[in-house]
Amino acid sequence: MNKFHLNKSRFKKSNDAQVVAKNLGYMLLLQIASYAFPLITIPYLARVIGVDGFGKIAFAAAVIIWFQTITEWGFGYTATRDVAKNKNDLTKVSEIFSNVLWAKILLMMISFIALVFLIVFIPSFQENKNILLVTFLLIPGNIFFPEWFFQALERMKFITYFGVISKFIFTILVFVFVNDKSDYLLQPLFLSMGLFFCGLFSFYLILAKWGVRIIFPRWRDILLTIKSSYNVFLNNIFPNLYNSFSTVFLGVVSGSVSTGILDAGKKFSEIAHQFLNVISKVFFPLLSRNIKVHNLYEKIQISLSICCAFVIFFLAPYLIEFFYTPDFKPAAIVLQILSVSLIFLALSNVYGVNYLIVEGHERVLRNITAVISVIGFFIAVFAIVCFDYMGAAIAIALIRAFLGVTTMVVAVKKRRKVEV
């Protein structure tokens, strides 16, 4: 317990600028590692498992992201915000950490039952049951590697250490054991193993070194924890109606090859998006304590998103040619379409997650996301049926644009009212 408070007192002595700069450095290093190691394996995997194998992995990942979103529920924002505000109160921190842990385990169990149900009754899920079940292991891996907790305490270096180690192990295992098309199942398995490995060490730090206690679960507390993050959960789940749904629906309608092309195109736009998310995650705890720095954060995030969008748009053909086999060539156009959406994803982060949620307007953001995502669902269905993987890319980019601009307009109006 004393160690925890000593760590906290040292943390308080640092000013905000130093903390943000240090955490940004650690998170950038993590993102470089997170994508440098997979980029090393992409050419190898493209040659060994082919477009079909990539498509199956992408299909399973798109399905499991629904269950992962259910399990995460919204705690990554609400719990991070709550711990950031109470980080000097070890009893309160233990209570928040325990309730989130038990809530996630409960939601994971419900998700697994739902997945089994889908596998039993839907033919396309039955055909891919092995990759679906293996990919589901990512969920318990994420639960036991509580990245949100380190983010709340603004201790990003631990996330970085664990993340780099797990990515390194994953990369070595891929080159050693993935030698045939049928070995595509090992890719999500190795990712899960890396998360479990990191989870063991992170729990050691949290429980043994920092003195956080796991409190015995009580139904009332667990249900209250779930209820308190309900609006953020809806805000997180609704985008799946057009985003991951597009991959799943494309796989059902057009097969693994089209899904593989879409996934290859999405890969580099997602890398850029995750890089931009580093800025968002680093600033989130600070904005939870001091919303006055939002103007600075706004300029940084939007400027970087515009730069990333232009760079990826022009490099798209060369990236696909370099990292993939000729079968993936159509993915270049997909990447160019999705690169434009990076600007609108940044708007959603700046004005949604890092303003509306920070200021307690979760319900407003939920309503915006719900309406636009439902519209996006129907646009995605029509576009995929008519234009295959190109339709999926266009639908995703279009809905991200609607969502980003609408969120910005609403947030700016609310900010002006506060300033007046």
Using a 10 angstrom Cβ sphere, with 0-12 exposed, 13-18 middle and 19 or more buried, the burial of residue 325 is middle
Token duo for residue 136: 């589901």
> Do residues 115 and 122 make contact, with C-beta atoms less than 8 angstroms apart?
no
Q: At what angle do helices 90-121 and 219-228 cross, to 10 degrees?
A: 80
**CA separation for the pair 242, 261 (Å, rounded):** 17
Q: Note down pLDDT in tens along the chain; length 420 residues.
A: 444 443 444 434 445 667 667 766 776 677 666 666 777 888 888 888 888 888 888 889 889 988 998 998 888 878 888 887 888 888 899 999 999 999 999 999 999 999 999 999 988 899 889 999 999 998 998 888 888 888 777 777 777 777 787 778 888 888 889 888 888 888 888 888 888 878 888 888 888 878 889 988 888 889 998 988 887 788 788 888 788 888 888 988 888 889 989 988 988 898 888 888 878 877 877 787 788 888 888 999 999 999 999 999 999 999 999 988 888 999 999 999 999 999 999 999 999 988 998 888 888 988 998 899 999 999 999 999 999 999 999 999 999 999 999 999 999 998 888 765
What's the pLDDT score for residue 16? 62
C-alpha Rg value of the chain to the nearest Å: 21
Nearest to 56 by CA among 335, 324, 260: 260
What's the pLDDT score for residue 102? 94
**CA separation for the pair 379, 399 (Å, rounded):** 9
Token duo for residue 62: 């798109």
CA 364-369-373 angle, 5° bins: 155
Write the secondary structure of 119-136 as one string of H (helix), E (strand) and C (coil).
Answer: HHHCHHHHHCHHHHHHHH
Q: Which one-letter amino acid corresponds to residue 412?
A: V
> Phi first, then psi: what are they for 330, rounded to 5°?
-60, -15
Count H helices, E strands: the chain? 17, 0
What's the pLDDT score for residue 1? 43
Q: Which one-letter amino acid corresponds to residue 285?
A: P
**CA separation for the pair 79, 150 (Å, rounded):** 11
Give how far Cα 47 sits from Cα of 51, 84, 180, 184, 413, Å: 9, 45, 10, 12, 51
What's the pLDDT score for residue 378? 93
Token duo for residue 331: 């993915």
Q: At what angle do helices 230-237 and 219-228 cross, to 10 degrees?
A: 50
> Do residues 392 and 250 make contact, with C-beta atoms less than 8 angstroms apart?
yes
What's the pLDDT score for residue 5? 46
Cβ atoms within 10 Å of 322's Cβ, excluding its own: 11
pTM: 0.72
